[in-house]
Amino acid sequence: MLELRAITAGYDRRTPVVRDVSLSVEPGEAVGLLGPSGCGKSTLARVAALLHRPDSGTVLLDGEPVHRWRHRAPRAHRTAFGVVFQQPRLSVDPRLRLTDLMAEPLRATGRRNEIPDRVAELATAVGLTPDLLTRRPHEVSDGQLQRACLARALVLRPRWLICDEITAMLDASTSAALVAAVEDYRAETGAGLLAVGHDHALLNRWCGRLVRWDDLGPAA
């Protein structure tokens, strides 16, 4: 289970953007977190993915506290999460070919021998044709780049997926393809999902449980 307990977080301790928020995701569960732009969803998603340290509160992974780190969460904890963000161009090294971008987490964890098979497998799973894999980010569309970012998030087979407005920049058919690829992965692995967004219809179709930002808080 992924548990966020009484999380307060922000970018300056005097004015936190997330105040005393609690939320948990059961293994295999898909939770959609809905809220207006600017309310703090991305910040909470980054806390959940161990990319942003909360000012106070507890993050637990299967009962183990994992929020106590200074500069960076330990890799053993980080690799439990695959994270996809709203704007793919902001989360990639623009010099990397898509194939290298997708393989980054394997390279970083010393598992180079797995790269060819895993990249081929994921290219199929996310709907990228082989000719696209040798292109660089500026040579592909936002949707194609987001598919590669999803592949990168899945490459280490994480137990949790954090999707932060991943379809906000995309057309309906690309959005549907990305959601389908996430759901195929979850069906295969039983991974849990926290999907953050503002599109009620999309999250409602996608997630088994919807949570509204305003309903989170001390009692939720």
Tokens of 138: 């500026």
Are β-strands 30-34 and 192-197 bridged in parallel, bridged antiparallel, or unpaired? Answer: parallel
**Where does this chain touch ligand ADP (CB under 6 A) — which range of 25-33, 56-64, 151-159, 177-185?**
151-159
Asked whether the beta carbons of 37 and 43 are under 8 A apart, the reply is no
| Contact string 23-62 vs ligand ADP (x = CB under 6 A) | ------------x-xxxxxxx-------------------
Phi, then psi, of 59 in degrees rounded to 5: -110, 125
CA distances from 30 to 15, 124, 126 (A): 30, 23, 19
Smallest distance, ligand ADP to C-beta of residue 104, A: 4
Which residue's CB is nearer to ligand ADP, number 42 or number 99?
A: 42
Give the side-chain half-sphere CA count within 13 A for 101: 26
- Please select the residue that binds ligand ADP; options are 66, 81, 122, 140, rule is CB under 6 A: 81
**Where does this chain touch ligand ADP (CB under 6 A) — which range of 24-32, 104-112, 126-134, 181-189?**
104-112
Smallest distance, ligand ADP to C-beta of residue 70, A: 15
> C-alpha angle 91/103/185, rounded to 5°?
85
- Please select the residue that binds ligand ADP; options are 54, 88, 105, 197, rule is CB under 6 A: 105
> d(Cα 131, Cα 200) in Å, to the nearest integer?
35
Smallest distance, ligand ADP to C-beta of residue 129, A: 22
SS3 85: coil
- Our finding on whether 169 is near ligand ADP (CB under 6 A) is no
- Our finding on whether 146 is near ligand ADP (CB under 6 A) is no
> d(Cα 92, Cα 216) in Å, to the nearest integer?
32
- Judged by the rule CB under 6 A, the positions of this chain that interact with ligand ADP are 11, 17, 35, 37-43, 75, 81-83, 104-105, 108, 152-153, 158
